[in-house]
Amino acid sequence: MRYFFAKLVIITICAMSVVACADAPAALAPTPTSVPVQPVIQADGSLSPMNDVVKAIVQIGILDENRIEVGSGSGTIIDPRGLIVTNFHVVGHKDLDTFYNPDHLVEIWLTHELNQPPALSYYAQVVAADPDADLAILRIVRMGSGVSPAECLDLPTIPVNSADLGVEEAIKAVGYPSFGDATITITTGKTAGYWGIDRFGYGEQHTKYQALKVTAPLSHGVSGGALLNDANELVGVPTFGIQDKDGAPVILGGAVPISLATHLIELGLEHPFPGCDSGTAVTLQREPNSFPKHVLKGRVSKLDAANNPVPQSNAFVYLFPASVDVNSMNWDQIITPIAKTQTNESGLFAVPNDTEQLQQPVGVVIVVNNQITMRENNVKLFEDGEYPTGTVYYRDSVTTLVLK
């Protein structure tokens, strides 16, 4: 599964390079395991409309040139064949007009239950983009296994309403925040005004387009998600959040009106969809044998005296064959792992799938400051189209790592 249990808490990896939320969010204490939230039941006994809405809001896995996931954002399905609206900064460097990988490819993770993390379901490709407005249109071109869809997809969608919004109109922002326990999150608020934006920022000097000010809290990972009206129609794309100067929580959010995406949507619909009518398999620079490219990803954080997680840079993650008993391994015995990787300055890591041995259960060892902090035998790294991922929390004593 795409998450850890026992001694750790799940978060999604932050979206990259948002306009005003580029700094990492403040560290949050681990969230204790709780009873799963049940679907929302209305007074008349029916399911809340949001139970269907969330199935059309996707998490987008950002892939680098090696198809290793290095971050995440959100998106909205607007055509059942697999057309998705998101922010440009979720798929590329908007200040450089470049994409994160040569195939313009991203992962698409779908939510099936409100209380469960999303599952890797598809790969999508950018087919239209406007860096100035920070918008992009994706088309699903591969299944989670990496092969082209054999049949035309029929996915849940959100209707688009491109009418102009006024001030003080009720809205909901839906997406996958970086600290949201890996599940989809809904915040509410109102439209609060307007400000100018372009690819380089927001405010008076950036007036190419008008963005919506919203009072719904927006955070890393929600970028590219859905701004909905009371009728659950897509009226905007959450794009950035504003903090005050002392780093207090987000006080205002910015969303791009969906009307700015109209011409991009038309361009996206001109591309044939694999499995539909005249749509054939999309040729990529590297074809299906390179799917998947990674098998383990997440963040390593140490809990300080106040129980706050501190991301650990320069931590090492080692993978060993199942024949090696990592529980009895000492630091000086870490010599020939199958694969290894190192965390970056934010504590993030990703282990690439460079060997067939990683298709079998392996032993996992995490080392910080030349000390083994976590280890576990018989870990399944890839099963049923899902990858394990999450945040590993530890203290000075050795703790147990369990992947499910």
Is 44 domain-assigned? yes
Instruction: Give per-residue pLDDT as tens, 234-258.
Output: 999 999 887 666 666 667 889 999 9
Q: What is the pLDDT of residue 332?
A: 77
* Three-class HEC string of the chain: CCCEECCEECCCCCCCCCCCCCCCCCCCCCCCCCCCCCCCECCCCCECCHHHHHHHEEEEEEECCCCCEEEEEEEEEEECCCEEEECHHHCEECCCCEECCCCCEEEEEECCCCCCCCEEEEEEEEEEEECCCCEEEEEEEEECCCCCCCCCCCCCCCCECCCCCCCCCEEEEEECCCCCCCCCEEEEEEEEEEEEEECCEECCCCCCEEEEEECCCCCCCCCCCEEECCCCCEEEEEEEEECCCCCCCCCEEEEEEHHHHHHHHHHHHCCCCCCCCCCCCCCCCCCHHHCCCEEEEEEEEEECCCCCEEECCCCEEEEEECCCCHHHCCHHHCCCCCEEEECCCCCEEEEECCCHHHHCCEEEEEEECCEEEEEEEEECCCECCECCEEEEEECCCCEECEEC
Q: In the structure, what pLDDT confidence band is assigned to residue 383 with cuts at 50, 70 and 90?
A: low
**Mean per-residue pLDDT of the chain:** 80
Is 332 domain-assigned? yes
Is 360 domain-assigned? yes
In contact, 319 and 363? CB cutoff 8 Å? yes
- Neighbouring CB atoms inside 10 A of 40's CB total 12
CATH number of the domain within which 388 lies: 2.60.40.1120
Is 76 domain-assigned? yes
Q: What is the pLDDT of residue 48?
A: 64
* Choice among 109-113, 138-142, 165-169, 305-309 with the minimum mean pLDDT: 305-309
Residues 281 and 306 in one domain: no
Is 165 domain-assigned? no
Residues 28 and 95 in one domain: yes
Residues 83 and 202 in one domain: no
Residues 204 and 134 in one domain: no
- Residue tagged 């970028």 (tokens): 223
Please compute the mean of the pLDDT values over residues 278-306 and round it to a whole number. Answer: 82
Residues 65 and 204 in one domain: no
Q: In the structure, what pLDDT confidence band is assigned to residue 360 with cuts at 50, 70 and 90?
A: confident
Residues 135 and 282 in one domain: yes
Residues 246 and 363 in one domain: no
* Choice among 72-76, 188-192, 369-373 with the minimum mean pLDDT: 369-373
Residues 146 and 211 in one domain: no
Number of compact structural domains in the chain:
3
Residues 54 and 123 in one domain: yes
Q: Is the pLDDT of residue 159 over 60?
A: yes
Residues 136 and 270 in one domain: yes
**Which structural domain range is residue 221 located in?**
170-256
Q: Quick one: CA dihedral 39, 90, 33, 186, positive or negative?
A: negative
Is 189 domain-assigned? yes
As a whole-number percent, the residues of the chain with pLDDT over 90 amount to 36
Q: In the structure, what pLDDT confidence band is assigned to residue 218 with cuts at 50, 70 and 90?
A: confident
Residues 26 and 142 in one domain: yes
Is 187 domain-assigned? yes
Residues 339 and 366 in one domain: yes
Is 163 domain-assigned? no
Q: Is the pLDDT of residue 68 over 90?
A: no
Q: In the structure, what pLDDT confidence band is assigned to residue 108 with cuts at 50, 70 and 90?
A: very high
CATH number of the domain within which 8 lies: 2.40.10.10
